Amino acid sequence: MFISGIGCSSRFPYYMETYGVHSIHGRAPTIATGLKASRPELDVWIVTGDGDGLSIGGNHLIHILRRNVGVQILLFNNQIYGLTKGQYSPTSEMGKITKSTPFGSIDYPFNPIELALGANSSFVARTMDRDPKHLGNMLRRAHEHSGASFLEIYQNCNIFNDGAFFTFTQRETKASHTIFLEHEKPMVFDQDRRGIRIDGYNLEAVDLESGPYSVDDCLVYNETSPELAGIAARMQWQPHLPRPFGVFYREDRPTYESMLQEQIESVIARKGKGDLRKLLKSSHNWVIE
């Protein structure tokens, strides 16, 4: 089942040969929570965008993450409102000139990865549209995870925000501006010519060819560490560092729907099945004539 809200990304269910719901703006997590709670055996995907998921739907997004509902959430981030013809979005960079910010945006943008980590999501990852191999791997990783999987996808909008992520996706600049996080492997990039070293609480990019540092001096990533996930997420705000892609964090913990089903079964075992008619006719009822 694919459930979407409103936006360019939200037409996704029409392209899939399976069940789908094209719902209302920002409310896909609400519908998905109800569906997964009542039909936990279904494979439920949420498709949203930076406007749909982080603006009007922001409150719904953080709660489905903290509850650890067993769904996969694909957030297509193009840093613009595409469906409504090019207004700035919650992820648009400061100074962005759009139809709704003709003199430049003065808003500090969201970092979706930091938002998901702050909401205590049990799986957080980032990928890009122009790397199908990495994209496919991240989709598989998200699907294999038991719990709420949050996957941010850098998505180019060639109509209203063309080239927003070309620094990270074009062949000429990709290697020197991106780093792919791999579990229990050193953080190296630029075809292994440079690496990430931690100095106290600060990260620095170091040259591994001319010395004095080697790959042994590089930070080894661990996708089960919330501390490292937070450090890696904040690399987005540091222009002297590459942009991270991959799995930032994963944690195994019970899902919302499994705990709900266990609770219902426990109550039924102790008290038997409830009587809805009796509940409705219980105390504190009034008849209005």
Give the closest residue to 28 by CA, choosing from 58, 64, 4, 55: 4
Per domain, the residue ranges of the chain are: 2-182+223-229+242-272
Note the pLDDT of residue 288. Answer: 84
Instruction: Yes or no: say if 142 and 121 are a contact pair by the CB < 8 Å rule.
Output: no
Q: Which residues contact 72 (CB under 8 A, 6 or more apart)?
A: 44, 45, 46, 139, 142, 143, 149, 151
Label residue 279 by pLDDT band (50, 70, 90). confident
Q: How many CB atoms lie within 10 A of CB 158?
A: 10
**Range in 154-158, 184-188, 197-201, 248-252 the model is least confident about:** 197-201
Chain centroid offset of residue 86 CA = 22
Directed axis angle between helix 28-38 and helix 256-271, to 10°? 40
CATH number corresponding to 2-182+223-229+242-272: 3.40.50.970
Label residue 277 by pLDDT band (50, 70, 90). confident
Instruction: Yes or no: say if 62 and 119 are a contact pair by the CB < 8 Å rule.
Output: yes
Q: Is the pLDDT of residue 200 over 90?
A: no
Q: Is the pLDDT of residue 285 over 80?
A: no
Label residue 40 by pLDDT band (50, 70, 90). very high
